Amino acid sequence: MEAIYRNADVRHIKNPCFNPAVDYPADLNGILGSALIMEAQDEISRWDGYSPTPLYPLCEIAGAIDVKAIYYKDESRRFAPGSFKALGGAYAVEQLLKREVSRRLGREISLGEIRNGRYAKLTSGVTVATATDGNHGRSVAWGAARFGCSCVIYIHRHVSEGRCAAMESFGARVIRVEGNYDDSVRQARLDAAKNGWYIVSDTSYPGYMTLPRYVMAGYTVMIKEALEQIPDRTAPTCVFLQGGCGGLAAAIAGYLWQALGEHRPRLIVVEPVQADCLYQSVSACRRVDVNITEESSMAGLSCGEVSILAWGMVQAAVNDFLSMNDDLIGPTMRLLARRQNGTTPIVAGESAVPGLAALLAASWQTGLRDALDLGVDSQVLIFGTEGATDPQIYKNLVGAYPGEICAE
Ligand SMILES: Cc1ncc(COP(=O)(O)O)c(C=O)c1O
């Protein structure tokens, strides 16, 4: 097993714009501030069915790569959508409905009133729409069902049938658009403008900044839980994160900077080489779009444009960027599924494992291990950001359906 990681082609760049300041800079407060974070964490903890997702120590893997500890935050059971994205899009839907109902009534209402369905008649007249690779759309569809509005989701040619069906199962109308992700974004915006629908996007762009802030604030629930779950609450020394449009990395980075200041861990973002917009942007010290010509199997990370808000945070707060091809995805999913010696098997989707895959590759490649400062004292936090969000793709890569793994 070691050989595939040792020989993997993983590219690394250290962030030349990293800001080592102890105090959280005021301009970043405008992207993700403490009031926004606390409101999101308080509200999401009141949602029906909320409970922290598990944090598993991967002792056997930590031993094999000679680091002190690896903690894997397993988002596979995060509410019904089964990914960390459930914390973002659905929360933005709730905030949007609060704003819309308040506007229509001419007075401010609370999130609790949206949550308990007090204005169900008004919310049922609202339609939210988004373009998606899968997980964000699933979260928006689930949020729309939960908070009582209609939902239209735009998917592109490469989104799997399984992921389409999952969104439909939450009651969303799903429209498949010829072309790629960018074409689905364009179509969603056109149709929303024509029909008076509200776009709920996880990425920000000129003129669209409010809801993506709520999305990022929602994601911070995951890191807050993880810090509380690590034994003795010792801070991790480094965190590996998957990167798509950068919202996840920005949320984790902003929270850690505010919570831990100078003791914040080293942050390492991992992307597919086919869609490495964060890596390319950091290399150029400005936002760079990547034209995706080949889809990665890491479907959730197949994103060619960095979110404007996320970029503001990521360029200051993330230490390192890695990119890699798809070769390590199947082996890493299988490694988690076949955990032995009394440890719980972990069901992780294709976009959940790049962080762990990159950690293994980096640990076994001497130059990279040194460059990332990995050593016997390293305590590594990893986010398993999704479960088997397409069971058939999971079976093709792992050799068993997710239910068979969990039953073992
Ligand atoms: C499972 C999974 N992990 C990580 C990410 C990356 O998140 P972001 O696009 O906010 O960078 C995504 C994005 O959809 C995802 O679906």
Q: What is the pLDDT of residues 256-309, one digit of tens each?
A: 999 999 999 999 999 999 999 999 999 999 999 999 888 899 999 998 999 999
Residue among 73, 74, 98, 133 flagged as catalytic = 133
CA of 300 to the centre of ligand 1 (A): 5
Q: How many angstroms is it from 103 CA to the middle of ligand 1?
A: 32
For the chain, the average pLDDT equals 95
Residue 86's pLDDT is what? 98
171 phi/psi in degrees, rounded to 5: 95, 5
Q: Domain spans of the chain?
A: 2-81+217-407, 89-201
Confirm if 346 and 56 have CB atoms less than 8 A apart: yes
CATH architecture of 2-81+217-407: 3-Layer(aba) Sandwich (3.40)
CA distance 151 to 103: 20
pLDDT of residue 2: 86
Rounded Cα distance, 226 and 101, in Å? 34
Q: What percent of the chain has pLDDT over 70?
A: 99
Residue nearest to atom 12 of ligand 1 (CA): 300
Q: Is the CB of 140 under 6 A from ligand 1?
A: no
Q: Is 121 a catalytic residue?
A: no
For ligand 1, whether the C-beta of 300 sits within 6 Å is yes
Cα 376 to averaged position of ligand 1 atoms, centre (Å): 29
Report pLDDT for 73.
98
How far is ligand 1, taken at its centre, from the CA of residue 326, in Å? 16
- Residue 340: pLDDT band with limits 50, 70, 90: low
Query: Per-residue pLDDT for 28 more than 90?
Result: yes
Residue for token digits 């990914």?
83
* Domains 2-81+217-407 and 89-201 alike in fold: yes
Between CA 90 and CA 43 the distance in angstroms is 12
Residue 1's pLDDT is: 74
Active site residue 85: yes
Question: What are the pLDDT digits (tens) for 38-57?
Answer: 999 999 999 999 999 999 99
Q: How high is the pLDDT of residue 62?
A: 96
Compute the average pLDDT of residues 334-346.
Answer: 85
Per-residue pLDDT band at 347 (split at 50, 70, 90)? very high
Distance 200 CA to ligand 1 centre (A): 15
pLDDT at 407 over 70: no
Q: What does the pLDDT look like over 145-186, one tens digit per residue?
A: 999 999 999 999 889 999 999 999 999 999 999 988 878 988
For range 184-212, the mean pLDDT: 95
Looking at residue 341, its pLDDT comes to 65
Q: The CATH number of 89-201 is which of 3.40.1390.10, 3.40.50.1100, 3.40.50.300, 3.30.450.20?
A: 3.40.50.1100
Q: Is the CB of 301 under 6 A from ligand 1?
A: yes
Residue of 242, 309, 394 to mutate, ligand 1, most atoms within 8 A of C-beta: 242
Residues 112 and 133 sit within 8 Å (Cβ to Cβ): no
Q: How confident is the model at residue 339 (pLDDT cuts 50, 70, 90)?
A: confident
Nearest ligand 1 atom to alpha carbon 300? 16
Can you say how many angstroms the Cα of residue 131 is from the centroid of all Cα atoms in its chain?
16
